[in-house]
Amino acid sequence: MNLVERFISYTKVNTTTNRENGAAGIMPSSEGQRVLALQLVEELKALGVEDIKIRDTAIVTATLPSNLDYDVPTVAFFGHLDTSAEQTNDTKAQILPYKGGDLCLNKELDIYLRQSEFPELENYIGDDIIVTDGTSLLGADDKAAIASIMDMLQYFKQHPEVKHGTVKIGFVPDEEQGLRGAKAFDTKEFGADFAYTLDCCGIGELVYENWNAGDVEIIFTGASAHPMSAKGKLKNSLLMAHKFVAMLPGGEAPEYTEGREGYYWVKQLAGNSARTVLKMDVRDFTEKGYAQRMAFLKQLSEYCEGLWGEGSVVCKQADRYANVFNSLQGDNRYPIDIAVAAYEANGITPRPIPMRGGYDGAALSQNGLPCPNIFTGAHNFHSIYEYLPVKSLYAASDVLKSVVKITAERFAPGAKA
């Protein structure tokens, strides 16, 4: 099976994440993820890799043993099984030649991938592009990753003369719900020394920075009273919450920030005059900046409680995930260097980008497995306009092959560091 056929076969399995089940702690949150996991297990068996395991959570792992006579660090590659709940329809993938201009996805429904809206399409003139019929996601997030990983394994099984160290793979569920699968992944049992996820990004993009991320819940407790006799008695928790939000730093919200600028995201506000709950996301690329943001919200809560009375404001904070870059310092930087060398070996200019979000590598890195992110080649994730240039898909698989080869060469006896 070639790489494109493999990818399209995966898109035929509806693996939409189920937010309600995820909130209830069910993993995988959707049965389609288990169906795809079982399909992958059978394909891994057919390839002849070893130590294939599938857990009750649908986490799949396998190992390609080393064919070297010396030891090198064990590299791993990860993809996630689920697709975003932004669209839930079954995927009807199609391959269209792109000659420039607008690309018709669905003539009957008048759905076009328009170059005026997506100018990067110009980079793929002359390429074949995989798209949907405009009624669903494509699911390249993250089935392009799974297909590239499986293609890489197939290559090494078909070419035993190519030297490589031990390669491990992991497919995890429910990335689209706060990295749940990666957080449940046992990195110590897995036994890899470093890893890469493939998630997001056009060809050449390389991620080794993301947010330090936290969740904040602030509970405002007021005092209800009938409006006919409310004077001096009513303490409106909704207005308390609004005043709190008004005291947040101006301009430090998602809609005003870019690049490495952090923010406070007022995400949800619900309640009544007696009790109101404000939910916020806090994001910053630096550990110091993240700590300062969390401390500011704590201090502001304490200040407001002093104004409105004891117990009127309670601030609950939790860390969600950390910046991958925190785990790639000093002697742990080599996964970045190997990725850069793998890009260059394939004639691809590395374009490091800070990811203004989280990905499975953040959770894996935090659990002791340093894990940058390699491109899948796809664009417009979580959208009916998601598309995947065929050459970019092949490039992603080629980069993985080069990562494995370069690891074997770089850590060979007598090799230059």
Instruction: Categorize the per-residue pLDDT at 417 as very low, low, confident or very high, splitting at 50, 70 and 90.
Output: low
Query: Annotated catalytic residue: which of 82, 193, 205, 360?
Result: 82
Q: Give 26: exposed, middle or buried? Use CB within 10 Å, 0-12, 13-18, 19+.
A: middle
The mean pLDDT value for 84-103 works out to: 96
Contact criterion met (CB below 8 Å) for 176 and 29: no
Instruction: Categorize the per-residue pLDDT at 140 as very low, low, confident or very high, splitting at 50, 70 and 90.
Output: very high
Query: Annotated catalytic residue: which of 43, 141, 175, 398?
Result: 175
* Residue 416 pLDDT > 80: no
Instruction: Categorize the per-residue pLDDT at 357 as very low, low, confident or very high, splitting at 50, 70 and 90.
Output: confident
The helix (H) or strand (E) run that includes residue 321 is strand 313-321
Q: pLDDT tens digit string along 195-230? A: 999 998 899 999 999 999 999 999 999 988 778 887
Poorest-pLDDT segment among 87-96, 232-241, 374-383: 232-241
In angstroms, the CA 136 to CA 14 distance is 10
Q: pLDDT tens digit string along 314-338? A: 999 999 899 999 999 999 999 999 9
Instruction: Categorize the per-residue pLDDT at 170 as very low, low, confident or very high, splitting at 50, 70 and 90.
Output: very high
In angstroms, the CA 10 to CA 169 distance is 17
CA angle at 27 for the pair 180 and 64, rounded to the nearest 5°: 75
Return the CA Rg of the chain. Answer: 24
Q: pLDDT tens digit string along 117-136? A: 999 999 999 999 999 999 99
Active site residue 133: no
Active site residue 175: yes
Contact criterion met (CB below 8 Å) for 278 and 245: yes
Average pLDDT, the chain: 96
In angstroms, the CA 412 to CA 417 distance is 10
In the prediction, which pLDDT does 178 show? 86
- Residue 264 per-residue DSSP state: E
Phi/psi at 223 (5° precision)? -140, 120
In the prediction, which pLDDT does 1 show? 86
Beta strands in 136-256 (DSSP E): 167-172, 194-198, 205-210, 212-221
